[in-house]
Amino acid sequence: MILDARQRESRSIPLLLFVLIVGYAVALVTNSYSVFNHTWDEAMHVAGGLELLDRGTFTCEPQHPPLTRVAMALGPYFIAGSRFVPPRKENCNTGHLYRLGNRILYSNGPYDGMLRFARLGNLPFLLLLLVTTWIWAGRTFGWWPAVAASFFIATTPPMLGNAGLATLDVSLVGLGITSIYLFCLWIENPSAWRSVALGAVSGMSIMAKFSAIPFLGVSFVAIALARWLTGLTGSEQTAIVTKKHLKTMVLGLVTLAAVFWISYGLRLDSLVVPDQPTRATAAVDSDQGRNGLFLDFAERPLFPLFVREMVAGFRQVSRHNQRGHQTFLLGEISGKGWWYYYLVGLGIKTPIPLLILGLAGLGSLLWTSIRRADWRIAAPVYAFVAILAFASFYSNINLGIRHVLILYPMLAIGAAHMVLILARVQHGRTIAIGTVALLLIFQLASSVYAHPDNMAYFNLLAGPKPERILLTADLDWGQDLKRLGHEVRQRKIQKIAIAYNGSAQPELHLPAQVTRLKPNTRRSGWVAVSLWTLERSGTDYRWLKSYEPVTRIGRSIDLYFIPD
Three-state DSSP string of 425-483: CCCCHHHHHHHHHHHHHHHHHHHHHHCCCCCCCCCHHHCCCHHHCECECCCECCCCHHH
- Of 310, 42, 327, 313, nearest to 168 (Cα)? 42
Please tell me the predicted confidence (pLDDT) of residue 505. 94
Cis peptide before 277 (omega within 30 of 0): no
| The one-letter amino acid at 381 | V
How distant is the alpha carbon of residue 163 from its chain centre? 8
DSSP code of residue 286: T
Using CB atoms within 10 Å of the CB of residue 235, give its burial: 0 to 12 exposed, 13 to 18 middle, 19+ buried.
Answer: exposed
Please tell me the predicted confidence (pLDDT) of residue 60. 82
| The one-letter amino acid at 77 | Y
pTM of the model: 0.91
**Residues 385, 389, 394: CA angle, nearest 5 degrees:** 155
Alpha-carbon distance of 46 to 241, in angstroms, equals 41
Using CB atoms within 10 Å of the CB of residue 370, give its burial: 0 to 12 exposed, 13 to 18 middle, 19+ buried.
Answer: middle
Please tell me the predicted confidence (pLDDT) of residue 397. 87
Please tell me the predicted confidence (pLDDT) of residue 240. 65
- H or E element in which residue 496 lies: strand 495-499
**Interstrand relation of 525-530 and 495-499 (parallel, antiparallel or unpaired):** parallel
Q: Are 504 and 564 in contact (CB under 8 A)?
A: no
**Which residues, 6+ apart, have CB-to-CB distance to 321 below 8 Å?**
394, 395, 396, 397
Please tell me the predicted confidence (pLDDT) of residue 291. 53
Please tell me the predicted confidence (pLDDT) of residue 290. 47
* Beta bridge pairs of residue 553: 557
Please tell me the predicted confidence (pLDDT) of residue 81. 86
Alpha-carbon distance of 125 to 264, in angstroms, equals 20
Alpha-carbon distance of 84 to 82, in angstroms, equals 7
**Which residues, 6+ apart, have CB-to-CB distance to 220 below 8 Å?**
180, 183
Tally Cβ neighbours within 10 Å of residue 528: 27
Per-residue pLDDT of the chain (564 residues; tens, 9 = 90+): 455 444 445 678 999 999 999 999 999 999 999 999 999 999 999 999 998 898 888 878 888 999 999 999 999 999 888 888 887 766 677 888 899 999 999 987 799 999 999 999 999 999 999 999 999 999 988 899 999 999 999 999 999 999 999 999 999 999 999 999 999 999 988 999 999 999 999 999 999 999 999 999 999 999 999 988 876 554 445 566 678 888 899 999 999 999 999 998 877 776 665 555 444 444 444 444 445 555 566 666 667 778 888 888 888 888 888 888 889 999 899 888 899 999 999 999 999 999 999 999 999 999 999 998 889 999 999 999 999 999 999 888 899 999 999 999 999 999 999 999 998 887 878 888 899 999 999 999 999 999 999 999 999 999 999 999 999 899 999 999 999 999 999 999 999 999 999 999 999 999 999 999 988 888 889 999 999 998 886 668 888 888 999 999 999 999 999 998
Please tell me the predicted confidence (pLDDT) of residue 283. 45
Dihedral of the alpha carbons of 166, 167, 172, 178, in degrees to the nearest 10: -10
Q: Where are the alpha helices (DSSP H) in 75-142?
A: 94-107, 111-120, 123-141
Tally Cβ neighbours within 10 Å of residue 347: 16
- Of 477, 536, 530, 502, nearest to 161 (Cα)? 477
